A and B are shown apart, each in its own frame.
Chain A
Amino acid sequence: MSATGTRTTTTGTAVAGSPPAAPAPRPRRAPRPGRILLVAVLTAAALYFLLPVYWLLVAATKSNDSLYGSFGLWFDDPRLWDNLSRVFSYDGHVYLRWTLNSLLYAGVGAVLATLLSAAAGFALAKYRFAGREAVFTFVLAGVLLPSTALALPLYLMFSKLELTNTYWGVLIPSVVSPFGVYLCRIYAEAAVPDTLLEAARVDGAGEGRIFFSLVLRIMTPALVTVFLFQFVHIWNNYFLPLVMLSDDRKYPITLGLVTWQQAADRVPELTQYTIGGAFVSVVPLAVAMLVLQRFWQTGLTEGSVKE
């Protein structure tokens, strides 16, 4: 079999994150004029996607005055370090607090969401019980429910239960991921062999032990995908914390930066702090995206591939 053929089988069976068996030769070269067009389009797209991030990098090094007075795409008396230390120290280190909050909401929320989705997805894939399909359809409906249409209803209910303006108000809704259950079911169906479960049962392992020591390991690629999805989803979420939280010490970064941006009329230096704060929050994520993007390719289309 050719090298390309081997590659197909590895990706085809969706072994996530495993490198291709051999560097695939890319024999197909478009003819010259097509080649130029190809490079032009890809470069233009790269410039488009990088433009705001590059602007942010430049702007973060500027003073509040030169933000308005100098050309936006080039440096002018760079003072990045000074700017960033002001971002962190402003208002009793509130920015640091927001960062920790964001990490708490997104980190803890995504871990719990992944575990819950894995257990539910596994159960839906590998057990036969009455009501299985009904439960699955019921969960799928949740995928189609827009999360921001849900934020207000959640607020209405949580305010009755006095859960608003608490960490729980943001955390509890974040651990529910119907899409995660969907992905986990599809993946478990394809990747967890029935014979393996049978063998483990014969060896006397309980269902819980099978799940924690066997199934979770096999499902790791899908779990990484679900975790990353949910992490980004919670990290980026704006509406839910906006309606839930009134104490700015509980804010995540997104909410905090918007309050700075909105208050810049009264406190002009907040414009620079908003930019600096955005820079600080974007850089680690940008690096993470570069490193982690290959995981996104796994499991994403597991379900849609089947026709």
Chain B
Amino acid sequence: MSTSVQPGRARSGKAARGRRRGRPDRKAWAFLGPFLALYLFAMVVPVLYAVYQSMLKVERSGPMGLGEPSVGFAGFENYSLALHQETFVEGFGRVLLFGIVQVPVMLVLALVLALLLDQVSHRWAGLLRATYFLPYGIPGVIATILWGFLYVPGVSPVTSVLGDLGFQPDFLGYDNVLWSVANIVVWQFAGYNMLIIIAQLKAVPQELYEAARIDGAGPWQTALRIKLPLVRPALVLTTVFSIIGTMQLFAEPLVLKKVAPAVTTDYTPNLSAYFDAFANANLYLAAAKSVILAVVAMVLSFGFLSLVTRKQRSER
């Protein structure tokens, strides 16, 4: 403390009391406590419990396994069972394919919209931004119900208009339904990702754009050479969230399942685990599948993060 504070302190007894207390840093745990306790209870322990459950199995004693069922240790049996289940592995392949196509399409759309909105007058930009962002507020299942109606021939104005034009699209057919799901996800999250990119653009000092303009850069050049590299951190963030989102794919295919027979109970890993737990009553196998899913999602997002940070470092 500087000496200039000393006289003030001497006058105020309150301040002197304040000085005598213990180091405030000890209080950190009081602030952290409630969150950490609930974090452990509602995230960490359930995961550990699922890992434990995934190592169990139902054993039947007696001749031909007709005796009393009991729970025994299975080791990695459930994991090997899950990984040998062709439909489960196919589900992983499906969400990976989905992600490889859907994530770039969505992020490019978000990026293009963000950059274009930068070129529009203030009033219009605000209105359009809100319009693009609107679907984010609509729950995934409700969005799926809506798009479901737009996909089903008979109700859908889209198929009827396309039919008049001579197209016969089958949005819910075996080959297309995955991309119909992708469309729903793009519709929901493109505006949200756009907003993250816009926030990043706004954080860029305007002087930079001015300097570029003085140097004779047109809007296209400014967008490609200056804005694009600058929003890179936002793109990294949105990509990681999108990867996590892709792995979770659940509600959309489950709801579409009613109108699209091509969606099976193993369509995505999450669906597969859900149906194991609630339709086939095999909680232990479902637990193993959940753990596999969580591990794959974390490995993918960590992998992507370390990939971009390494590339970043080598560029410097």
A181 adjacent to B247 (CB under 8 Å): no
B2 to chain A, nearest CB (A): 11
Best-surrounded residue of A55, A158, A208, A281 (most CB of chain B within 10 A): A55
Are the CB atoms of A23 and B122 closer together than 8 Å?
yes
Q: Do the beta carbons of A42 and B136 come within 8 Å of each other? A: no
Please tell me which one of the listed residues B42, B210, B287, B312 contacts residue A156 in the complex, with CB atoms under 8 A apart: B287
A148 vs chain B, min Cβ distance (A) = 4
Complex interface: chain A residues within 8 A of B49 (CB): 153, 156-157
Does B226 count as interface, using CB distance less than 8 angstroms?
Answer: no
**For chain B, what secondary structure do more than half of its interface residues adopt (helix, strand, loop), or is it mixed?**
helix
Closest residue of chain A to B34 (Cβ to Cβ) is: A116
Nearest CB in chain B: distance from A255 CB, A: 8
Judging by beta carbons under 8 Å apart, are B32 and A304 in contact? Answer: no
State whether A73 and B157 are in contact (beta carbons under 8 Å apart), knowing that A38-B120, A127-B27, A129-B25 are contacts in the complex. yes
Known A52-B187, A204-B17; contact A30-B219, beta-carbon cutoff 8 A: yes
**Chain A to chain B: the 4 pairs with minimum beta-carbon distance, closest first:** A72-B157, A153-B50, A127-B28, A123-B31
A-side residues, CB < 8 A to B, are 4-5, 7-8, 11-12, 14, 23-24, 26, 28, 30, 34, 38, 41-42, 45-46, 48-53, 55-56, 59, 67-68, 71-73, 116-117, 119-120, 122-124, 127-129, 132, 135, 139, 141-142, 144-150, 152-158, 172-173, 175-176, 178, 181, 197, 201-205, 207-208, 211, 232, 235-239, 243, 253-254, 257-258, 261-262, 274-275, 278, 281-282, 285-286, 288-290, 293, 296-298, 300-301, 303-305, 307
Q: Of B18, B247, B291, which one neighbours A201 at CB under 8 angstroms?
A: B18
Q: How far is the CA of A136 from the CA of B112 in the complex (A)?
A: 34
In the complex, what residue of chain A is closest to B142 when comparing beta carbons? Answer: A278
Q: Which residues does chain A contribute within 8 Å of B129, judged by CB atoms?
A: 293
| Interface pair A297/B195, CB less than 8 Å apart | yes
What is the CA–CA distance of A248 and B15 in the complex, to the nearest angstrom? Answer: 58
Write 20 A-B pairs (CB below 8 A) sorted by A numbering: A24-B122, A30-B219, A38-B116, A38-B119, A42-B117, A42-B128, A45-B109, A50-B134, A56-B146, A72-B155, A117-B35, A129-B25, A135-B36, A150-B294, A154-B46, A155-B277, A156-B46, A258-B145, A293-B195, A300-B199
Interface pair A116/B133, CB less than 8 Å apart: no
Please encode chain B, from 132 to 147, with 1 for each CB lying within 8 Å of some chain A CB and 0 for all others: 1111111111110111
Please name all residues of chain B whose beta carbon is closer than 8 Å to the beta carbon of A243 when the two chains form the complex: 274, 277-278
Quote the shortest CB–CB distance from A79 to chain B (angstroms). Answer: 18
B281 contacts the other chain (CB 8 A): no
Distance in Å from the Cβ of A186 to the closest Cβ of chain B?
Answer: 12
Point out the residues of chain A lying under 8 angstroms from B213, CB to CB: 28
Distance from B231 Cβ to chain A, minimum over Cβ atoms (Å): 9
Specify which chain B residues have a CB less than 8 angstroms from the CB of A205 in the assembled complex.
18
Q: Which of B31, B130, B160 contacts A211 (CB 8 A)?
A: B31
Q: Is B87 an interface residue (CB 8 A)?
A: no
Q: How far is the CA of A119 from the CA of B32 in the complex (A)?
A: 6
Contact A289 B130 (CB under 8 A): yes
In angstroms, how far is the closest chain B Cβ from the Cβ of A259?
A: 11
| B287/A293 in contact, CB under 8 A | no
Question: Contact between A149 and B286 (Cβ–Cβ < 8 Å)?
Answer: no
Nearest residue (CB) in B for A67 is B155
Asked if residues B5 and A152 are in contact (CB atoms below 8 Å), the reply is no
Give the residue of B53, B244, B277 whose beta carbon is less than 8 angstroms from that of A144: B244
**Which of the candidate stretches B68-76, B77-85, B232-240 sits at the interface with the other chain?**
B232-240
Kindly list chain B residues whose C-beta atoms are within 8 Å of the C-beta of A202: 5, 9, 15, 18-19
A132 to B27, CA, bound (A): 13
Which of B5, B32, B287 touches A135 (beta carbons < 8 Å)?
Answer: B32
Collect the chain B residues with CB atoms within 8 Å of residue A150's CB: 43, 46-47, 290, 294
Kindly state the separation between the CA atoms of A197 and B200 in the bound complex, as whole angstroms.
Answer: 29
- Verify B233–A301 contact, CB threshold 8 A: yes
Residue B250 CB within 8 A of the other chain: yes
Q: Using CB atoms, name the residue of chain A closest to B196.
A: A300
Interface-facing stretch out of B59-67, B98-106, B169-177, B297-305: B297-305
A152-B286, A181-B35, A208-B27 are known; give 15 further A-B pairs, CB within 8 A.
A26-B121, A42-B117, A49-B132, A53-B138, A55-B146, A129-B29, A144-B298, A145-B43, A149-B270, A204-B18, A257-B145, A282-B138, A289-B130, A289-B133, A289-B136
